[in-house]
A and B are shown apart, each in its own frame.
Chain A
Amino acid sequence: MAVIHDVMPSFGLYQPASVADALNLLDRHGRDAWILAGGLDSFDWLKDRIKRPKAVVDLSGISELQGIRESGDGLEIGAMTTLTEVVRHPAVRERYSLLLEAAEHAASPQIRNQGTIGGNVSQDTRCWYYRTGWFCYRAGGNICYADTPTAMNREHAILGADRCVAVNPSDTAPALIALDASMVVRSKSGERVVPAEEYFIGPGTDITRMTILQPGDLLTAIRIPGTWGGARFYFEKVRDRNVWDFALVSVASAMSDNGETIERVRIAVNGVAARPLRLRAVEDAVRGKARSEETAKLAGDLAIQGALPLQHNAYKVPLMRNLVKRAIRGAEGA
């Protein structure tokens, strides 16, 4: 079992100065490599000796991965941009306040100063059975300790569970899905640009990973198109304490309306499944309808269809329904 160690285990530390060098290192070390961004998730794994990489590739010296650039009618955010930088960036404040809200709700100011957006969307689940080194499905075993008759699973999944009931902890992830962002992933064999929605994967697809990243892959940037710039946004995160804590359930939506009816909408939730879920059925149901209490209720009821609570997390079902309702009605109606 996990023992909290104060010192780092030994590993080879590599500090490349360019993406090309980083990709070479990742290619050379394959499964033995670990990408280090802000270290806020990484250091837990390494110090607890649960993950034992031989080579740690520290991205902090790669200037190409830092900062926010205007790109076409949208923005390109380097993977190593800190959450604080995201929150403070004028273009994000002005046009994409949904991302600002989401990033600002993550953790604490100190963590946001250090934690990067690339690390935030690529971080591992916070299921404590898995994180304390229990040999569960996600760790390569054949059991989910969080889904047993005696398990402590108040924070776990109500949707999309497939053997493993862990949830995705990222606050920026649902906002990026709602903004129709794309993830730029590079490896030695080239670059691919993946919709944010497809960047995250559930246990049915791969029970040992939270994202599509394979050994050798590097997330270099996140692109946000202009499509949703300045739209009507809603972000809400419910957590046990108002600082530090991960979301029990969060919701992010981007919407445009003509004052009466909803014309376009994208809505995503997190904290309820192993990947942030885009609620397509809800989007389809509310498009063309009035932004009313009735539509919000319809959306909330639709959102929780198929939810299957565990022993201790049934509260997530009404919580998710209400957050989705509020996302449709907007802050003023909430």
Chain B
Amino acid sequence: MDILTWGHSPWGERILAHISWNLFWASLFAGIVFFVAHASYMVLSAHRKRSAAETDALEIEHRDLPPQIVRHSLAARLFHWVMAGAMFVLLFTAFLPVAGIKFPWVTWHWMAGLVLAGSILFHIIHASVWLDFWSIWVGPKDIPEFRAEILRELGHDVPGPKPGKYPLGNRLYHMAIVLAGLAVVISGITMMVRVRTPFFTRNPYLLRDTTWGLVYVTHGLAGVALVGLVIAHVYFAVRPEKWWITKSMLLGWITRRQYLEHHDPHRWAVESIAAKAEAQRSGQ
């Protein structure tokens, strides 16, 4: 199977052109295999969930928490859905023609690309200034949680840490999306210099042929990676046991019970009703 497509420069040098579209089919296939395998596993597995009694006890202990707990601010939700819309337009305009559905796609593609780039920029600023920036990242400190989550998936009742604001799976996914998303946006904006847009003076000779080849390959690799990643994301968003997360991306909040059932209150501290009222009083 070809992975890359090669061509030649006017001087006869062998140059990289772009990825082989076989990789698109491979990514699509991998995404579908993943969701079939995971769905089968979830049906057959002994996945360990926190018991109702355990959650009941936690609810009694934390009854001073508000009944609805904000998980995503309006700005964060808007970013998510704008980015999701742009991502779907990008993927469909990029890959429907590859799959044989031909239409003039380029203008739609770069316009959606600019929306994506703008929304990512907004997100970086918003997350750096207004959100707990580090709560979404993964690092060596997460190894115990990773171990505990794997053991729970395998049916063991282990005491290890529960997730903070974002479950480990979310954070790993975010990491992959950051890498693929930044690669696709940076290479895509560079590629816009080669097409007619109102933003740049076209200059196909801005980079050397070999460098352009790398830019196109980066864009293609990140693009096909996003196919698999988006399939996985949509799959999890529609899984019944994850609806509470999907719903929170629409409404912005989760219930107190969901908070206690799925999160570690020490790692994601939520202000109690009394503390909030006190803060408001002292703020007045």
Binary CB contact string for chain A from 134 to 153 against chain B (1 if under 8 A, 0 otherwise): 11000111111101110000
Contact across chains for B204 and A144 when beta carbons are under 8 A apart: yes
Partner of B18, one of A1, A142, A204, A206: A142
Is the CB–CB distance between B106 and A163 below 8 Å?
yes
Q: How distant is the Cα of A135 from the Cα of B195 in the complex, in angstroms?
A: 17
Interface check B281, CB cutoff 8 A: no
Q: Are A204 and B105 CB-contacts (below 8 A) given A140-B5, A140-B7?
A: yes
CA distance A206 to B10 in the complex (A): 23
Q: When the two chains form their complex, are residues B216 and A142 in contact, meaning their CB atoms are under 8 A apart? A: yes
| B266 interface residue (CB < 8 Å to A) | no
Q: Is B224 an interface residue (CB 8 A)?
A: no
Q: Write out the residue numbers on chain A whose beta carbons fall within 8 Å of the beta carbon of B209.
A: 143
Closest-CB distance, B40 to chain A (whole angstroms):
36
A228 to chain B, nearest CB (A): 29
Nearest CB on A from B239, distance (A): 38
Closest to A141 in B: B7
**Which residues of chain B come closer than 8 Å to A202, judged between CB atoms?**
104
Q: Are B104 and A205 in contact (CB under 8 A)?
A: yes
Indicate if the CB atoms of B205 and A149 lie closer than 8 Å.
yes
Which of B5, B12, B103, B204 contacts A1, CB < 8 Å? B12
B272 contacts chain A at the CB level, 8 A cutoff = no
Within 8 A of B (CB), among A192-213: 201-202, 204-206
Q: Check B97 for interface membership: any CB of A closer than 8 A.
A: yes
Q: Which residues of A contact B7 (CB under 8 A)?
A: 135, 139-141
> With A135-B7, A141-B7 known to touch, is A161 a contact of B104 (CB < 8 Å)?
no
Known: A135-B17, A148-B204. A163 touches B8 (CB 8 A): no
In the bound assembly, the distance between CA atoms of A148 and B105 in angstroms comes to: 22
In the complex, A162 has a CB within 8 A of chain B: yes
Across the interface, do B8 and A204 meet the contact criterion of CB distance under 8 Å?
no
Q: Is B102 an interface residue (CB 8 A)?
A: yes
User: In the assembled complex, which residues on chain A have CB atoms less than 8 Å from the CB atom of B106?
Assistant: 162-163, 204
**What interface size band does chain A fall in?**
20 to 34
Knowing A140-B5, A205-B104, the reply to whether A147 touches B17 (Cβ < 8 A) is: no
With a CB–CB cut-off of 8 A, which chain B residues contact A144?
204
Contact A148 B102 (CB under 8 A): no
A202 to B15 Cα, complex, angstroms: 26
Of the candidates A1, A163, A204, A205, which one forms a contact with B10 in the assembled complex, judged by CB atoms under 8 Å apart? Answer: A1
Cβ of B156 within 8 Å of any chain A Cβ, yes or no, is no
Q: Given the complex, which residues of A lie within 8 Å of B259, measured CB to CB?
A: none
Task: Verify if B135 is at the interface (C-beta below 8 Å from A).
Answer: no
1/0 per position for A9-32, CB-CB distance to B under 8 A? 000000000000000000000000
Write out the residue numbers on chain A whose beta carbons fall within 8 Å of the beta carbon of B12: 1
Taking the complex as formed, is B128 at the interface, i.e. its CB lies under 8 A from any CB of chain A? no
- Rounded to whole angstroms, the CA-CA distance of A148 and B104 in the bound complex is 22
Interface set, chain B 215-271, CB cutoff 8 A to A:
216
Looking at the complex, which one of B8, B102, B202 makes contact with A135 (CB distance below 8 Å)?
Answer: B8
Question: Does chain A have a CB within 8 A of B22?
Answer: no
Contacts of A141 in B (CB 8 A): 7, 17
- A161 CA to B102 CA in the complex, in Å? 16
B16 CB to nearest A CB, Å: 9
Bound Cα distance A300, B162 (Å): 72
Residue of B nearest to A144 (CB): B204
Q: Does B105 lie within 8 Å of A142, measured CB to CB? A: no
Specify which of A141, A144, A206 lies most central, judged by the most chain B CB atoms within 10 Å of its CB.
Answer: A141
Also in contact, A206 and B102, with CB within 8 A (given A141-B7, A143-B194, A163-B194): yes
CB of A245, distance to nearest CB on chain B (Å): 26
Interface residues of B in 190-216 (CB under 8 A from A): 194-196, 202-205, 209, 212-213, 216
Please tell me if B9 contacts chain A, counting CB pairs below 8 Å. Answer: yes
Q: How far is the CB of B22 from chain A (nearest CB, A)?
A: 14
What CA separation (Å) do A140 and B6 show in the bound complex? 9
Contact of B194 among A134, A142, A201 (CB under 8 A): A142
Residue interface mask A111-144, B partner, CB < 8 A = 1 = 0000000000000000000000011000111111
Complex CA–CA separation, A265 to B167 (angstroms): 66
Contact present for B105 and A147 (CB under 8 Å): no
How many angstroms between the C-alpha atoms of A90 and B92 in the bound complex? 51
| A202 CA / B97 CA spacing, docked (Å) | 14
Nearest-Cβ distance from residue A158 to partner chain B, whole angstroms: 13
B5, B7, B18, B106: most-surrounded residue (chain A CB, <10 A): B7
Question: Are the CB atoms of B97 and A143 closer together than 8 Å?
Answer: no
Chain B contacts with A in 1-36, Cβ cutoff 8 A: 5, 7-10, 12, 15, 17-18
Instruction: Give Cα A201–Cα B12 distance, bound, in whole angstroms.
Output: 30
Question: Are A161 and B196 in contact (CB-based, < 8 A)?
Answer: yes
Nearest Cβ on chain A to B274's Cβ, whole angstroms: 62
A-B contact pairs, 5 of them (CB 8 A): A140-B17, A149-B205, A161-B196, A162-B106, A162-B195
Q: For the complex of A and B, list the 7 residue pairs with the smallest distance between their C-beta atoms, beginning with the closest.
A: A204-B104, A135-B7, A141-B7, A205-B102, A143-B204, A148-B204, A206-B102
A143-B204, A143-B209, A205-B102 are known; give 13 further A-B pairs, CB within 8 A.
Answer: A1-B10, A135-B15, A140-B7, A140-B17, A141-B17, A142-B212, A143-B194, A147-B202, A147-B204, A162-B104, A162-B106, A204-B104, A206-B102
